[in-house]
Amino acid sequence: METTRSRVDSIVQTATHTNMWHRKLCAARNKSHSIAYSINTFICGWLRCYHPYEFITAYLNNVVTQEDIANATGLAKEYNITVMSPRYGLATDVYSFDRDAHAITKGLASVKYMNPQVSIDLYKLSHEHMNDCSFVDVLTTMATNHIKINSRQLDILIKIGYFEKYGNSNQLLAELDVFNQLGGGTIRSINSDRIPPCLENVDISAYCSNTRKDGTVGKVWTVNNGRGLLTAAISALSEQPEPTLKERLEWSREFLGYVDVATHKPEDRRKVLVNKITPLVGKFSPNPWSYRVDVTGVQTGHCAVLYIRSNIYNKCGKLSMNDVIECEGLVQDKKGYWQLLGYHY
């Protein structure tokens, strides 16, 4: 700590007595302001260089616009730091970093319908029960520890990939449905006329009994092994397909407030997500002569602006927000604008 303070003091002293800063900044500001601004710039530069994890995390926790997020994410890439969506076991209520994993994780508090208390409770739970090896184990632990999370919040966390280490979102949503149908393994009885759909392919006689004391068979099954019944119902589930790319993008935009899906797959190099379409209309005609399209690269997650001539737009088909298209050709015109020469869905 003392070493850090001495370094900062040294930097402050250097910045204060360096006339170079004064000459450059005094032209636009008074001397006192230029000194303070110089010191602040110098300290930020030092922190960025020697403490990038702390600097970038603090930057992300104080962003104002989407451009700030893009700048911070770009800076993280320069230092080979991955900025991740919220993940179980890593995410707290705000952005936090893990130096060993070379990652910065987004906090849950900014996710739609979430709050800081649930975020902190889930983070503590993940570290107190690190032996949970399945999603059902996590759900059981949450119920046992009385974590105050409602069904809507849990549904959102599954969709944004918070529990992705336990399976894809559709699979986890199906397991959650089974968990709820069987009361988390605490169900005590089952009526033969109203057997839950999740038990259609399960031999419930292995976990329940419907024999009365007098030896006759009754309509109500008494559950002897609720946990075993739940495990059997989960195992009987058919494998669920992964969410489509469009579904993942829509969930990301709706619940995170921005698109945070990058597949990193070579085959997705030419695919882009349409974020916004702006018709460009001239002075002498009401018909657009071109279209400005704000897009996000599916492979990398990078944002870009493309332009499509009206004849190409009419030929290839109209675009809507959240459409995923594959670009067929790009060329940069004399003014530096990127023109899209063709595309298909």
At 27, is the pLDDT very low, low, confident or very high (cuts 50, 70, 90)? Answer: low
Q: Residue 334 is part of which domain span?
A: 262-344
pTM score, whole prediction? 0.73
- As to burial, measured by CB atoms within 10 angstroms (0-12 exposed, 13-18 middle, 19+ buried), residue 105 is buried
Where is pLDDT greater, at 309 or 64? 309
Question: 293: which 2 tokens?
Answer: 């399209």
At 21, is the pLDDT very low, low, confident or very high (cuts 50, 70, 90)? Answer: very low
Q: To 5 degrees, how large is the angle CA 231–CA 233–CA 236? A: 110
Q: What is the pLDDT of residues 90-144, one digit of tens each?
A: 888 899 998 888 888 888 887 888 888 999 999 999 888 877 789 999 999 998 8
At 32, is the pLDDT very low, low, confident or very high (cuts 50, 70, 90)? Answer: low
Residue 280 pLDDT more than 60?
yes
At 208, is the pLDDT very low, low, confident or very high (cuts 50, 70, 90)? Answer: very high
Q: Are residues 196 and 271 in the same domain?
A: no
For residues 297 and 281, what is the distance between their CA atoms, to the nearest angstrom? 26
Is 154 among the domain residues? Answer: no
Phi then psi for residue 60, to 5 deg, are -65, -30
Q: Are residues 282 and 210 in the same domain?
A: no
What average pLDDT does this structure show over 183-192?
89
Q: Are residues 6 and 86 in the same domain?
A: yes
Is 301 among the domain residues? Answer: yes
Is 113 among the domain residues? Answer: no
What average pLDDT does this structure show over 237-241?
89
Q: What percentage of the chain has pLDDT greater than the value 90?
A: 29
Where is pLDDT greater, at 259 or 222? 222
Domain end (from 65, 98, 131): 98
pLDDT at site 139: 93
CATH of the domain at 308: 2.40.50
Q: What percentage of the chain has pLDDT greater than the value 70?
A: 90
Is 122 among the domain residues? Answer: no
Is 196 among the domain residues? Answer: yes
Is 80 among the domain residues? Answer: yes
Q: Are residues 272 and 214 in the same domain?
A: no
Phi then psi for residue 157, to 5 deg, are -60, -40
pLDDT at site 19: 47
Residue 259 pLDDT more than 80?
no
What average pLDDT does this structure show over 70-86?
83
Q: What is the pLDDT of residues 289-332, one digit of tens each?
A: 999 999 888 887 778 899 999 999 999 989 988 888 999 888 99
Q: Are residues 278 and 323 in the same domain?
A: yes
159-174: b (≥16 Cβ within 10 Å) or e: bbbbbeebbbbbbbbb
Is 44 among the domain residues? Answer: yes
Quote the number of domains for the chain. Answer: 3
For residues 12 and 2, what is the distance between their CA atoms, to the nearest angstrom? 15
Summary mean pLDDT of the chain: 84
Is 130 among the domain residues? Answer: no
Residue 88 pLDDT more than 70?
yes
Residue 65 pLDDT more than 80?
no
Q: Are residues 210 and 278 in the same domain?
A: no
pLDDT at site 278: 92
Domain end (from 98, 132, 164): 98
Q: Are residues 185 and 230 in the same domain?
A: yes
Q: How many CB atoms lie within 10 A of CB 252?
A: 20
pLDDT at site 18: 45
Edge-to-edge order in the sheet of strand 82-84 = 82-84, 103-105, 96-98
pLDDT at site 200: 86
DSSP string, 281-299: E-SS-SSEEEEEEEEEETT
